Amino acid sequence: GEDVEQSLFLSVREGDSSVINCTYTDSSSTYLYWYKQEPGAGLQLLTYIFSNMDMKQDQRLTVLLNKKDKHLSLRIADTQTGDSAIYFCAETLTGGGNKLTFGTGTQLKVEL
Amino acid sequence: KAGVTQTPRYLIKTRGQQVTLSCSPISGHRSVSWYQQTPGQGLQFLFEYFSETQRNKGNFPGRFSGRQFSNSRSEMNVSTLELGDSALYLCASSSQGWGDTDTQYFGPGTRLTVL
What are residue A100's phi and psi, to 5 degrees? Answer: -95, 135
The pLDDT of residue B100 is 52
Residue B101: predicted pLDDT = 56
Residues of chain B with C-beta less than 8 angstroms from the C-beta of A48: 103
What's the confidence (pLDDT) of residue B97?
Answer: 58
* Residue B70 burial (CB count, 10 A): 7
- For chain B, which residues lie within 8 Å of any Cβ of chain A, measuring from their own Cβ? 4, 31, 33, 35, 42-45, 48, 55-56, 58, 90, 92, 94, 96-109
CA A101 to chain centre: 12
Q: Which residues of A touch B32 (CB under 8 A)?
A: none
How far lies A37's CA from each of A108, B1, B7, in Å? 10, 21, 19
In angstroms, the CA A89 to CA A101 distance is 8
By Cβ distance, the residue of B42, B102, B108 closest to A98 is B102
Which member of B31, B90, B98 has the closest CB to residue A42?
B90
Question: How much of chain B exceeds pLDDT 90, in percent?
Answer: 84
Lowest-pLDDT range of A10-14, A48-52, B64-68, B70-74 = A48-52
Selecting from A41, A88, A97 the residue whose C-beta is nearest the C-beta of B43 gives: A88
What average pLDDT does range A44-55 have in this prediction?
92
* More reliable by pLDDT, A26 or A15: A15
Q: Does A1 have pLDDT greater than 80?
A: no
Flag whether pLDDT at A41 surpasses 80.
yes
pLDDT grade for B42, boundaries at 50, 70 and 90: very high
DSSP secondary-structure letter at B26? P
